[in-house]
A and B are shown apart, each in its own frame.
Chain A
């Protein structure tokens, strides 16, 4: 910013930006359209969520900061109720399945595909397009499409399993699994204190299909930055493909790997559309993730005053995300300055 100051001091004192009144007024003219929308429709609602999480209310009789008759102050009770509710922890487990499985699938698959494409001399752009294309598809449409894929009567997956004779079912103690009923009852691992339900994996596959293109784009960018000399030197030394990938590509791709993993963790924690369209959190609450639970609390159970609970869940989700993504966030702020 210092050079800006010097420049304008030299040439345009009337619009100087060294902090005098005119310059600042001009700056506010430039930023105010965006900031007005941002303050009115982002900061203010966010603040309302934060404060509203300390009150008991529903959307039929919403808590309103300007009307004390709507205030039913309960302190941290919404948080206590949330953290002691079985349904919340059920949603936490389902979200955790997303958080672990989704980023791993996305990162591994997109890195594999990018490295494969990187090695072929021709047609790379064409292959890449096949993966990037689903990225432009809405997650709602992706949900619809995967409902077709999983359809118990005429879904591609169901028919393929039948045709290839891959159908089987296992029941080994805590583990049950079957290659059918992908959305209603594909199986479960019963850990005693909680259950890992495979219906979540069916949903994750849909998200994975839609999101892998992002990883392909990011890894491709990383691969073009790998110095040619490094690859050539390795070839001269007689390195085999496997060695080259392990010792040269993977270390070089550490940056893109962090980005893809971070963004897919964020995606996984916020996931709503795919789940909502395919199962609405069902069967029962088997695939209910935090975002779906929150939405139901606020907008489905209208008669019981649960909006306060929903805002508490929103705050918990935000705190976890900001906390987890803090280094990333700091990095972005630094780079962009």
Chain B
């Protein structure tokens, strides 16, 4: 009995140590962001006469962070909306309809989950110029469509596992009532697969929000999202950890809030993506 209790104690101790270790980096960024730069030089864990302030955030916000955040929201919300809508339609067709080259299309889509994005990266810039997507707000349209194209495989793969859970009997009953495929899609499949759609939307949101490579490559300065802003601010030769840490925390926050609020959907979606493979 005593040894069992001791074992539990050791287990919990080990877990607490690991979990704390895992939280140190985030703690570092957070503490750096809410204290003046000269105090940080003494180590953020040093709380002698510590001052806590939001001043770093205010200055970072004024120095361009505001437009980075706005751009990120435009790109992310746009990409998620288009990908989820187009992905749900396409998934319905893949599961409930037949069409030519169905297997080939499916294979090509799934392949995008493996292939590195570098495969499409280099010709995209001249291609944007040809299509007129390299100027002004059209850049947003361009990158949203690239995110849709790149997320297409994930969308079909994840959504199909949720769409298939809709009981076949319900669909058959619907068809006897004379509902067409469009009505079935809207009235039956969409509502029943809503948890799946939410799961995918969250995962896609976090993916697009966190993208650095596409935005860094395709967008001009005034249209870049916060990840690119972070990458450009980050430089070992400039002592501006106060601003950079504030930017990092703001870049982390929206996905984190979403994750905290809808944790269950997120993990469920990853299960669908992970275990089905």
Q: A residues engaging B (CB < 8 A)?
A: 1, 3-5, 7-8, 11-12, 15, 17-19, 23-24, 26-28, 30-31, 33-35, 37-46, 48-49, 52, 59, 62-64, 113, 116-117, 119-120, 123, 126-127, 129-134, 136-149, 151, 153-154, 156, 159, 183, 209, 212, 214, 217-218, 221-222, 241, 255-256, 259, 262-263, 266, 269-270, 272-273, 276-278, 291, 294-295, 298-299, 307, 310-311, 313-315, 317-318, 321-322, 325, 328-329, 331-333, 335-337
Contact partner, A31, options B90, B119, B120, Cβ 8 Å = B90
Interface residues of B in 236-273 (CB under 8 A from A): 236, 241, 244-245, 247-248, 251-252, 255-256, 258-259, 263, 266-267, 270-271
In the complex, per-residue mask of B217-231: 1 if CB is within 8 Å of any chain A CB, else 0: 100000000011011
Please, which residues of chain B bring their CB within 8 A of the CB of A38? 108-109, 112, 148-149, 152
Q: How far is the CA of A252 from the CA of B87 in the complex (A)?
A: 34
Contact partner, B93, options A31, A123, A145, A299, Cβ 8 Å = A31
Give, as a whole number of angstroms, the nearest-CB distance from B232 to chain A: 10
Please, which residues of chain B bring their CB within 8 A of the CB of A40? 145, 149
Please, which residues of chain A bring their CB within 8 A of the CB of B146? 41-42
Inter-subunit contact A127/B122 (CB<8 Å): no
Give, as a whole number of angstroms, the nearest-CB distance from A46 to chain B: 5
Inter-subunit contact A140/B122 (CB<8 Å): no
Q: A148-B25, A156-B28, A322-B111 are in contact. List 14 more A-B contacts (CB 8 A).
A: A7-B175, A11-B175, A17-B97, A23-B99, A31-B93, A38-B108, A43-B108, A44-B127, A45-B127, A133-B22, A133-B26, A294-B118, A336-B161, A337-B103
Q: B residues engaging A (CB < 8 A)?
A: 7-8, 11-12, 14-15, 18-20, 22-26, 28-29, 32, 40-45, 82, 85-87, 89-90, 92-94, 96-100, 103, 105-127, 130, 145-146, 148-150, 152, 155-157, 160-161, 168, 172, 175-176, 178, 180-181, 185, 206, 209-213, 216-217, 227-228, 230-231, 234, 236, 241, 244-245, 247-248, 251-252, 255-256, 258-259, 263, 266-267, 270-271, 274-277
Inter-subunit contact B123/A11 (CB<8 Å): no
Please, which residues of chain A bring their CB within 8 A of the CB of B244? 144
Please, which residues of chain B bring their CB within 8 A of the CB of A332? 110, 113, 157, 276-277
Inter-subunit contact B22/A130 (CB<8 Å): yes
Contact partner, B89, options A30, A123, A137, A145, Cβ 8 Å = A30
Inter-subunit contact B106/A333 (CB<8 Å): yes
Give, as a whole number of angstroms, the nearest-CB distance from B177 to chain A: 9
Give, as a whole number of angstroms, the nearest-CB distance from A142 to chain B: 8
Q: How far is the CA of A212 from the CA of B18 in the complex (A)?
A: 12
Contact partner, A133, options B15, B259, B274, Cβ 8 Å = B259
Inter-subunit contact B15/A314 (CB<8 Å): no
Inter-subunit contact B98/A49 (CB<8 Å): no
Give, as a whole number of angstroms, the nearest-CB distance from A78 to chain B: 12
Contact partner, B148, options A41, A140, A325, A329, Cβ 8 Å = A41
Contact partner, B123, options A45, A130, A295, A333, Cβ 8 Å = A45
Q: How far is the CA of A250 from the CA of B26 in the complex (A)?
A: 32
A-B CB contact pairs (8 Å), 7 listed: A45-B119, A46-B120, A62-B126, A138-B255, A154-B40, A277-B212, A336-B106
Inter-subunit contact A136/B93 (CB<8 Å): no
Contact partner, B181, options A26, A35, A45, A48, Cβ 8 Å = A26
Contact partner, B28, options A35, A149, A266, A272, Cβ 8 Å = A149
Q: How far is the CA of A231 from the CA of B160 in the complex (A)?
A: 34
Please, which residues of chain B bring their CB within 8 A of the CB of A30? 89-90, 92-93, 97, 181, 185
Contacts A34-B89, A38-B152, A41-B149 known; A317 to B118 CB distance under 8 Å? Answer: yes
Q: How far is the CA of A159 from the CA of B68 in the complex (A)?
A: 33
Inter-subunit contact A34/B145 (CB<8 Å): no
Q: How far is the CA of A337 from the CA of B7 in the complex (A)?
A: 46
Inter-subunit contact A335/B22 (CB<8 Å): no
Give, as a whole number of angstroms, the nearest-CB distance from A14 to chain B: 8
Please, which residues of chain B bring their CB within 8 A of the CB of A113? 15, 18
Contact partner, B82, options A37, A64, A256, A331, Cβ 8 Å = A37
Contact partner, A34, options B114, B156, B206, Cβ 8 Å = B156
Inter-subunit contact A148/B32 (CB<8 Å): yes
Q: How far is the CA of A31 from the CA of B248 in the complex (A)?
A: 38
Give, as a whole number of angstroms, the nearest-CB distance from B34 to chain A: 14
Contact partner, B120, options A34, A49, A117, A126, Cβ 8 Å = A49
Please, which residues of chain A bring their CB within 8 A of the CB of B85? 33
Please, which residues of chain B bring their CB within 8 A of the CB of A270? 116-118
Inter-subunit contact A321/B25 (CB<8 Å): no
Contact partner, B248, options A44, A129, A145, Cβ 8 Å = A145
Please, which residues of chain A bring their CB within 8 A of the CB of B123? 45, 48-49, 52, 62, 311
Q: How far is the CA of A156 from the CA of B227 in the complex (A)?
A: 24
Contact partner, B251, options A27, A141, A156, Cβ 8 Å = A141
Inter-subunit contact A137/B255 (CB<8 Å): yes
Q: How far is the CA of A183 from the CA of B87 in the complex (A)?
A: 42
Inter-subunit contact B234/A144 (CB<8 Å): yes
Q: How far is the CA of A121 from the CA of B255 in the complex (A)?
A: 30
Q: How far is the CA of A127 from the CA of B90 in the complex (A)?
A: 38
Contacts A33-B90, A145-B25 known; A11 to B230 CB distance under 8 Å? Answer: no
Contact partner, B19, options A52, A64, A130, A263, Cβ 8 Å = A130
Inter-subunit contact A276/B212 (CB<8 Å): yes
Q: Which residue of B lies closest to A43 (CB)?
A: B108
Q: Which residue of A lies closest to B177 (CB)?
A: A11
Give, as a whole number of angstroms, the nearest-CB distance from A104 to chain B: 18
